[in-house]
Amino acid sequence: MKITLLVTGKTEEKYLIEGIEKYLNRLKHYIGFNMIVIPDVKNTKNLSEAQQKAKEAEMMLKHISNPDTVILLDEKGKKYTSVLFSNYLNKQMIGSVQHLVFVIGGPYGFDESVYKRANGSMSLSDMTFSHQMVRLFFVEQLYRAFSILKGEPYHHE
């Protein structure tokens, strides 16, 4: 199985970039992982929130193939503990999933077309985080999940 994280807009803060790179390097030992950054929508001052989400969706959907399993990182999504998330990933690997795509939307969330294409959604917290910070939190949780599956000492209960 291969995992892709699809995000909107480049990560701007240096500390976030460093943290993300740290976990991306660690993930290489476990699974094929790719992060795709979709460019920010231009001239957003002239667009409504709905128009901006539609433009982001158009770019996102170009990176998603028919057989991909798509999970949106969404505040209304299913909540997992770290252990349950590792179990979810294990089931996907054992099953027939070839490519698991996790998607982080832009500042206004997802267009309806992205919700329709998704196979599911998950929430990292009841709190709201910037879409920039969620990237770091998610790759850390992904690394944690694989360390749990491998029985490595990173995660403590």
Q: What is the reported pLDDT for 83?
A: 97
pTM: 0.94
CATH code of the domain occupying 2-39+58-149: 3.40.1280.10
Closest listed residue to residue 11, CA positions, set 27, 22, 26? 22
Q: What is the pLDDT of residues 4-21, one digit of tens each?
A: 999 999 999 999 999 999
Least confident of 35-39, 47-51, 77-81, 128-132: 128-132
Q: What is the reported pLDDT for 157?
A: 73
**Phi/psi at 67 (nearest 5 deg)?**
-75, -5
Q: Which two tokens stand for residue 71?
A: 């999970």
Q: Given pLDDT bands bounded at 50, 70 and 90, which one contains residue 46?
A: confident
Closest listed residue to residue 137, CA positions, set 30, 1, 2, 7? 7
Q: What is the pLDDT of residues 99-114, one digit of tens each?
A: 999 999 988 899 999 9
Mean pLDDT of 35-54: 89
Mean pLDDT of the chain: 94
Q: What is the pLDDT of residues 53-92, one digit of tens each?
A: 999 999 999 999 999 999 999 999 999 999 999 999 999 9
Q: What is the reported pLDDT for 116?
A: 98
Rounded distance between C-alpha atoms, residue 157 and residue 150, angstroms = 15
Cα separations (Å) of 42 from 48, 51, 129? 12, 11, 23
Give the rounded percent of residues in the chain with a pLDDT score beyond 90: 82
Q: Which 8-state DSSP code applies to residue 50?
A: H
C-beta of residue 110 within 8 angstroms of C-beta of residue 57: yes
